Structure 1
């Protein structure tokens, strides 16, 4: 397959990660090799257990889980920056091998917005990606620069969410 299209799943609604995960599973089911990476998530999301069982999908697991970036101490924010810098370098290194047909980066928009990855380098990476690499990015509030690069943009809009009624995230549904 050649075309190297860029997908963005964005918006304030539930389902961005679910959509990206579904696309990764579809690609794997068609024999494509998928690299699946996540920023600003924990290791307890149920989809990871299933993705780890699919031979065509390689999940890059995080060294440590943190809370919301804005609520972290300065020391924790620096730890997060270092960890995600290593993750970004790992992603780039693995993609450079040519072994993957799809790259999914969950919560890319937040990592980009908070400067947890080098923004100019990330944009250049997206522009220069291999001809056979489909890229899927998720997150809220993508920059205009990222939107301009995208071939697919799917916005997930929240109309109603149980959190508004005080219902906390539920295992197997929200994570």
Structure 2
């Protein structure tokens, strides 16, 4: 079978070519989804984290569609801290989007993941929720407004702590 025939038969699925020359189709790994009756965590509007069992009902599906289904309580709590940090960035003078900016004329919060600290940086790319600040002082004030938990949540990369 030629590669062209393989693609025609299998579509654009991700593949891996084995040492022996054979092709293995890689599994598509989407976001985690609980099995039926499996426990998951969700965030309520007030920021509290609640536990539910997945029963494949409409509410389960809606929470999943919104990205509000978490495998661990720690993951859900980290998300709460990230959302609170985002609001504090905006409250401290942060801006969303790119309107009216010349590249490089903005400051943003940059996580130093190895040290688990946040810094301000003047760069072309906007990180941390795509929120930028006009001055470095505004950016530093926003960082200083965060709790230690909020800072840790922004530096977290998904590895076990």
Give the TM-score normalised by structure 2: 0.23
**Structure with bigger RCO (C-alpha 8 Å, 6+ apart):** 1
Pair member with larger Rg: 2
Q: Could you say which structure has the higher helix fraction?
A: 1
